[in-house]
Amino acid sequence: MIKIESLSHTYERGDRLEFPEWEINGMAHWLLLGASGSGKSTLLNHIAGLLKPTEGKIMVDDQDLYQLSAKEIDHFRGMNIGVVFQRPHLISSLNVIENLEVANTLAGNVVNSEHILSLLEDLSLQSKHKNYPHQLSQGQLQRVSIARALVNKPLLLIADEPTSSLDDDNTHQVMEILLEQAINNSAALIIATHDQRVRQYITNSYLL
């Protein structure tokens, strides 16, 4: 499903990161582990098609990601890859359901209201669908971000430090949601973290 070969990234200041080869089968769950500054977010951005590596190849569902044009990568990501960022990047002027509808349309899909409402119900957000981001708690914002990442039924779900700002109860809830939704959507799951609390949920790990 995902294969990384001979991947490296060189920053403008000259620092270079090299990433070990990594192969992820469909619907597998993995942790991407490493200290701050080890390159976790850089690698996630490569896999998500957000940052072109200096060298190497990333195959996602038999597609060589960086052989596509920038426009084609954006479309491929919208259709196949859902990303939960460390901080929720929701549009503040739109309510919850509108944020999910925008994610549908940006991927070139027709708005699927039934799927959106089902996701919100699964994530216990049905009563918040008309709320704006500033009206939500940190845990609710994270769940909306998960819903947005899943709205186009991706093959791959990526989460970058999804629990770093959450207490223990919300951490448990978010991890259970990520695992459950990955299974329900038949998606592979990659979680980048240095949060030791997360390691009890997933056994596969890739260390930087």
Report DSSP letters for 149-173, one per residue.
Answer: HHTT--SEEEEESTTTT--HHHHHH
Give the pLDDT confidence of 84-127 residue by residue, as tens digits. 988 888 999 999 999 999 999 988 899 999 999 999 998 899 99
Indicate the number of domains in the chain. Answer: 1
Give the pLDDT confidence of 36-84 residue by residue, as tens digits. 888 999 999 999 999 999 999 999 999 999 999 999 999 999 999 999 9
Tokens of 48: 């998500």
Alpha helices in the chain (DSSP H): 40-47, 70-80, 96-106, 113-122, 138-150, 168-184
Residue 97: give its domain's CATH number. Answer: 3.40.50.300
Domain of residue 190, residue span:
2-207
Alpha helices in 31-89 (DSSP H): 40-47, 70-80
Distance CA 86, CA 201 (A): 19
**Rounded to a whole number, what is the distance in angstroms from the first to the last CA of the chain?**
21
